[in-house]
Amino acid sequence: MEMTSLKIDLQDVEPCVKKLSVEIPIDRVNQEKSTLYKELAKSANVPGFRKGRAPRKVLEKMYAESVMGDAAQRLIQSAYREAIEAKNLQPVGEPMVDDVKMEESEPISFTATVEIFPEVELKDISEISLTRRIVKASDAEVDRTIESYRERQVRFEPVEDRSIQDGDHAIVDYSATKEDGTPLEHFSGQGKQVSVDKNEMFEDFFNGMCGMTKGEEKQFDAKLPKDVPDPELADSTVKFKVKINEIKQKVLPDINDDFAREVSDFDSLELFKADLKAQIEKRNKEAADNSLRDDLMKKIIEDHPIEISSGMTERQATALANRSKENFKSQGIDPNKMGLDDEKMMEKSRVDAVRMIKEQAILSAFAKTHGIEVTDEDIDKEIEKLATMFNQPKDVTRQQLTASKGMEGVINQAFAEKIYGVMLEEITIEDKTVEPEELDE
């Protein structure tokens, strides 16, 4: 605890919520006011006096109220910082300042309600024993990965001797009208390329197109789904007129050494497959490490009952819910269609928020007892990971993080990585290779 001239009283309001009552002595108030009046005298334009020559008594008559307000604002800010240091508090977020009292020739007093991270007295974790389950990299997964590479190399060749099938592309002219004959401009086009895919098209439109041949014109009715962009057309029947100008079929490359050379830096399919398998093994190991960390944190949380304030939980949950909404929006997804209305999203976010707050409290306590600090080298490693992920120079990544105010997140991640690394060294870990289906057991 630091020495201070402030009068400070500390009260517990609820778990992780403290209330500071602070009184700033009159000599500090007067000193701050004197500083402000000196600053004011240099710039104030007072009739009858040259700039910077107005006596303080004249300035007091003109500016007493504003000077008092400015002095109080400065002093409350500095006194709050001094008070939390004196009481050894580590607040989360900004304080709620109330009950401000400021009168001429009197001390200034105020209260500041602050939230703090839960204090945790960690038990010894060296007796914890966990299993790291690493999924085996199967040949089937390698084959699925190769298929994804084939799809990227797909080409479409004209078809003359058959009708449209699922998976084809077609160049079409089409138009649509309501049942009363009203044209629908947004359901019309000339020379448009259409992917004939039963998983993507309206069912009736897909069925209407399949079987058509090049040059054929056809009219058919199609019932629109409930989620079309225009709510007036939802679940309605539309009359389409379609002409097929061209049919193209999907052609995938053969899987051989030539294919491997085309899509990779390897000269043979065998080497390409070996590299793919190594990549899968690396991803599976990283996934196993993440799961192990989760298991460890769950175990520590179970062993350490931690109380959290409702306000802290709500604020964290609201931030998580808003972030989820923005992510859904950026992907063009309506969360309501996934059964996630605002209340359900908040319910899930509250659970996640409690877990995150407890995790941060435990990591902070472990770092404190083990003297763990994040270094520039740790931060550089995290930036290098991001640079590799985005396939760009590390300096560019650092500049982007600085510009977007993302460095704090990188520092927090580096800190967490370092703490977890020490934690995992203290526990007993058994590695086990499992088949993919065993993970759900």
Q: Burial level of 242, CB count in 10 A (0-12/13-18/19+)?
A: buried
- Provide the token pair at 404: 């977007």
- Provide the token pair at 315: 């604020």
Distance CA 346, CA 318 (A): 7
Q: Which CATH architecture has domain 155-251?
A: Roll (3.10)
Distance CA 391, CA 389 (A): 6
* Residue 334 phi, psi (nearest 5): -95, 110
Residue boundaries of the structural domains of the chain = 7-115, 155-251, 259-440
Q: Which CATH architecture has domain 7-115?
A: 2-Layer Sandwich (3.30)
Eight-state DSSP code of residue 89: -
Distance CA 373, CA 419 (A): 9
Q: Are 257 and 268 in contact (CB under 8 A)?
A: yes
Q: What is the pLDDT of residue 40?
A: 72
Which contacts (CB < 8 Å, 24+ apart) does range 199-207 have?
205/240, 206/166
At position 43, the amino acid (one-letter code) is S
The stretch 267-286 carries a mean pLDDT of: 96
The stretch 144-152 carries a mean pLDDT of: 95
pLDDT digits (tens, 9 = 90+) for 326-372: 888 888 777 776 677 888 889 999 999 999 989 988 998 999 899 99
Packing angle between helix 342-370 and helix 269-303, nearest 10 degrees?
80
Point out which residues pair with 389 in neighbouring strands: none
- Provide the token pair at 4: 């201070």
Percent of the chain with pLDDT over 90: 55
- Provide the token pair at 75: 């002093």
Local confidence band at 3 (pLDDT 50, 70, 90 cut-offs): low
Eight-state DSSP code of residue 201: S
The stretch 403-419 carries a mean pLDDT of: 89
Q: What is the pLDDT of residue 190?
A: 94
Q: Are 307 and 16 in contact (CB under 8 A)?
A: yes
Residue 259: partners with Cβ closer than 8 Å, 6 or more residues away: 149, 150, 153, 253, 269
In this prediction the pTM is 0.67
Percent of the chain with pLDDT over 70: 95
Residue 10: partners with Cβ closer than 8 Å, 6 or more residues away: 18, 19, 20, 21, 87
Give 155-196 as a DSSP string.
EEEEE-SS---TT-EEEEEEEEE-TTS-B-GGG-EEEEEEE-
Q: What is the pLDDT of residue 15?
A: 80
β-pairing, 428-434 vs 129-135, is: parallel
Q: Are 430 and 132 in contact (CB under 8 A)?
A: yes
Q: Are 165 and 235 in contact (CB under 8 A)?
A: no
- Output the CA torsion 28→30→36→42 (10° steps): -130
- Provide the token pair at 69: 């307000």
Mean pLDDT of the chain: 89
Q: Count, in order, helices (H) and strands (E) of the chain.
A: 11, 11
Eight-state DSSP code of residue 127: T
The number of residues in the chain equals: 441
Its CATH class, for the domain covering 259-440, is mainly alpha
The stretch 150-164 carries a mean pLDDT of: 93
* Residue 16 phi, psi (nearest 5): 70, 15
pLDDT digits (tens, 9 = 90+) for 68-122: 888 888 899 889 989 988 888 878 777 889 999 988 888 999 999 988 878 888 9
Which candidate, 127, 91, 107, places its Cα nearest to that of 18? 91
pLDDT digits (tens, 9 = 90+) for 241-274: 999 999 999 999 999 999 999 999 999 999 999 9
Q: Are 91 and 116 in contact (CB under 8 A)?
A: yes
> Three-class SS string for 134-165?
EECCCHHHHHHHHHHHHHHCCEEEEECCCCCC
Mapped onto helix, strand or coil, the DSSP state of residue 102 is: coil
Give residue 211's region: left, alpha or beta (phi > 0; psi -120 to 50). left
Cα angle: 298, vertex 296, 369; to 5 degrees: 105
Local confidence band at 393 (pLDDT 50, 70, 90 cut-offs): very high
Mapped onto helix, strand or coil, the DSSP state of residue 101 is: strand
Distance CA 23, CA 18 (A): 16
Q: What is the pLDDT of residue 438?
A: 79
Q: What is the pLDDT of residue 1?
A: 45
pLDDT digits (tens, 9 = 90+) for 197-209: 998 888 999 999 9
β-pairing, 189-195 vs 7-14, is: unpaired
Which candidate, 121, 155, 101, 334, places its Cα nearest to that of 231? 334
Establish how many alpha carbons lie within 13 A of residue 183's alpha carbon, considering only the half-sphere containing its beta carbon. 6
